[in-house]
Amino acid sequence: MNARAEVLVVARLDLAEVLRSRWLIFCLVVHGVLAATFVLVGLRESGVIGFTGMGRALMSWSHALLFLLPLLALTATGQVVNSARDDGSLELLLSNPVSRTAWFVGTSLVRTGALVVPLFVAMPLLGLVGSLAFGQDVPWGFLARGMVVSAALLVCFVAIGLAVSTLVRNQAKALMLAVLIWALGVALIDFGLVGVMLQWDLPPSAVFALAVLNPVQSARLALLSAAQPELSTFGPVGFFLANRIGPSWLLVIGVVWPLLLGAAAWVFALRSFRRRDLL
């Protein structure tokens, strides 16, 4: 059996596992509830005061997802390797002629897909519902931007979660570390960064670098770059960056940087997985 066939076997088994797991259901429910909330609330409000409601609903939803998706990805993958190690499934599968790399690749693909696919279903569905049920003009360009940025962010945090689950053997500690990483990603934007700058007398350039290096912030700026830069929506750091490097570069950075960071975390996790004791 060649490497690709091994990956397929692992992926098929992991997909069967994921389809019966609670976190996938939780993930779908979160997407569904958020989408429904923003459609109902956003569109109803727009009907009263005359704004383009669909765009507003999508913008708000995407913005909320940027904070939520990393948490979903980290909690869904932060215990993949260590729980497989603890419950014996890793021992069972890897006692068969399958390489560690094939296991890791197959599992990574399924876990990423399980988070990205519901998003790619829910977002266009939201647009269709807005268009068909409420007669709204759907900003498909913004929708596509939101999907791409969200997917890049998911890929990044799935990889970080896999790295955490590979490096930290204890499941509870891994979950704590995952939540801590999420909290740092969410906290170090705009006012949090300004606070850091003031507390430690950092030069503004260091703060802007930190802002762009934080995948949550870079994704957020990429998403917001679709709109006219305003201090109230971008925050001080984002507003400066949007004016300094422009919306196109913000989009590129917001997609490419999380992907690069995710790729680096994934390669690091794979190398560690291949070298360490599996039990």
Report how far apart, in Å, the C-alpha atoms of 187 and of each of 182, 194, 214 are. Answer: 8, 11, 10
At its nearest, how many Å lie between other proteins and the CB of residue 6? 7
Q: Given the rule CB under 8 A, which of 3-11, 110-118, 125-133, 139-147 is the region that contacts other proteins? A: 3-11
Q: Which of 97, 135, 141, 203 binds other proteins (CB under 8 A)?
A: 97
Q: Which is nearer to other proteins, 10 or 250 (CB)?
A: 10
CA distance 177 to 55: 36
Indicate whether 105 belongs to the interface with other proteins (CB under 8 A).
Answer: no
**Total site size for other proteins, rule CB under 8 A:** 27
Q: Residue 89 burial (CB < 10 Å; 0-12/13-18/19+)?
A: middle
Give buried/exposed letters for 206-221 (b at 16+ CB in 10 A, else e). ebbebbbebbbbbbbb
Indicate whether 17 belongs to the interface with other proteins (CB under 8 A).
Answer: yes
Token reading at 228: 């006219």
Indicate whether 25 belongs to the interface with other proteins (CB under 8 A).
Answer: no
Indicate whether 87 belongs to the interface with other proteins (CB under 8 A).
Answer: yes
Indicate whether 197 belongs to the interface with other proteins (CB under 8 A).
Answer: no
Q: Which is nearer to other proteins, 94 or 259 (CB)?
A: 94
Interface ranges with other proteins (CB under 8 A): 1, 6, 9-10, 12-13, 16-17, 20-21, 87-89, 91-99, 275-279
